[in-house]
């Protein structure tokens, strides 16, 4: 989705009118308290880049039908940003409001909202040095996004903010000075969210599980650079916690590991997948002891992207995808994670065929497995 000019302040979109009408109904009700989502047990999440924010009611209904049948408790979406503008696109805000209200109506009260874009790609922002990204514009972007969506909390929607999606992937965020700027953006987002919505959560992480090519960076290595840590996750000489710490209420993982049984443990400190979740949690706790991440944040860990790909060089057979998904869920439960989100419901028209269904809507063998996860 591309950004467009801001909507006139005199114009109220149908989604915003619906939200205001809903809030009027709540005006005489007991005030709603926004608590941290998923206090203890593992909750099931679902994401789709197309269906739930489509203008086609049938597509939105398909997404929520799967979510309801599967007992989904949280969903996730993006605000697209190419690193240059200082405002969210109006059509994105409107579709997120509609999405959140429909999610609430379908028994889902928590929405993770991340910022995502091809900031380092030629077809996106085209930045090759993260220091060229305007942090002033990013701050304004967060301010305006939070202001536009904070009324959802009065409607009983819990918002969880994610400052940047998969920054360690070379097309999404510049590698040069990337970890350092990522750290600054994390703290900017945290501060701006808390100013307007103190009860909303802000999570850190959202890193891809490993470097998919030499231009990208493993998540553990990215965090080491961002927080001033050595290869053993200890503070580098001359670094101070106050200069390298990030603020967060929780931590998120994208735990993909496509072609290997999750029961086969991965012995790596810098690749963070479903196969070494226990090791990753231990590393996060070690980092917390350096006071560069809050201890409370690393005790609230969510998998906010997981799936198996059905086509291409990293594809997994339908049989293995079905079997391994249950194993992955059990690993997440054993390690006391807070959430486990599948990405996505239906294959898109172009790439990343990770749908519970094909492009044509045919159910894959993993579909009933996901519905039955408990």
**Per-residue confidence (pLDDT) for residue 28, from 0 to 100:** 37
Q: Give 138-203 as a 3 state SS string.
A: HHHHHHHHHHHHCHHHHCCCEEEEECCCCCCCCCCCCCECHHHHHHHHHHHHHHHHHHHCCCCEEE
pLDDT digits over 256-299, tens only?
A: 999 999 999 999 999 999 999 999 999 999 999 999 999 999 99
DSSP state at residue 30: P
**Per-residue confidence (pLDDT) for residue 349, from 0 to 100:** 82
**Per-residue confidence (pLDDT) for residue 68, from 0 to 100:** 98
Q: Which residues of the chain have pLDDT under 70?
A: 1-40
pLDDT digits over 20-44, tens only?
A: 555 544 433 434 444 456 556 899 9
Q: How far is CA 10 from CA 7, 16, 23, 88, 94, in A?
A: 8, 12, 19, 17, 15
pTM metric for this prediction: 0.91
CA distance linking residue 116 with residue 113, whole number of Å = 10
**Per-residue confidence (pLDDT) for residue 350, from 0 to 100:** 81
**Per-residue confidence (pLDDT) for residue 34, from 0 to 100:** 42
């Amino acid at each position: 989705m591309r950004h467009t000019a801001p909507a006139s302040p005199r114009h109220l979109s149908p989604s915003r009118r619906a939200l205001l009408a809903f809030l009027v109904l709540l005006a005489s009700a007991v005030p709603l308290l926004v608590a941290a989502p998923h206090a203890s047990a593992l909750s099931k999440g679902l994401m789709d880049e197309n269906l739930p924010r489509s203008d086609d009611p049938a597509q939105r209904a398909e997404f929520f039908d799967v979510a309801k049948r599967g007992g989904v408790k949280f969903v996730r979406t993006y605000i697209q940003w190419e690193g240059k503008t200082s405002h969210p696109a109006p059509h994105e805000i409107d579709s997120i409001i509609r999405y959140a209200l429909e999610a609430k109506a379908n028994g889902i009260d928590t929405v993770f909202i991340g910022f995502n874009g091809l900031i380092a790609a030629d077809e996106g922002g085209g930045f090759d040095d993260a220091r060229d990204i305007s942090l002033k514009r990013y701050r304004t972007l967060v301010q305006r996004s939070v202001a536009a969506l904070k009324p959802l909390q009065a409607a009983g929607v819990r918002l969880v903010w994610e400052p940047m999606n998969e920054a360690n992937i070379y097309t999404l965020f510049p590698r040069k000075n990337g970890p350092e700027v990522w750290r600054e953006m994390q703290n900017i987002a945290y501060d701006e969210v808390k100013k307007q919505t103190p009860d909303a959560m802000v999570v850190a992480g959202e890193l891809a599980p490993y470097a998919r090519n030499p231009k990208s960076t493993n998540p553990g290595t990215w965090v080491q650079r961002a927080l001033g840590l050595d290869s053993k996750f200890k503070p580098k000489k001359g670094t101070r916690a106050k200069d390298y710490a990030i603020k967060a209420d929780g931590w998120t993982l994208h735990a993909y590991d496509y072609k290997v049984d999750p029961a086969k443990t991965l012995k790596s400190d810098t690749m963070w997948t479903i196969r070494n979740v226990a090791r990753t949690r231990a590393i996060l706790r070690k980092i917390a002891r350096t006071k560069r991440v809050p201890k409370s944040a690393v005790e609230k860990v969510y998998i906010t992207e997981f799936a198996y790909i059905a086509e291409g060089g990293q594809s997994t057979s339908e049989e293995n995808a079905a079997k391994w998904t249950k194993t992955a869920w059990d690993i997440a439960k054993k390690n006391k994670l807070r959430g486990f989100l599948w990405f996505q419901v239906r294959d898109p028209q172009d790439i990343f065929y990770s749908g519970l269904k094909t492009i044509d809507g045919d159910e894959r063998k993993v579909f009933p497995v996901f519905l039955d996860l408990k």
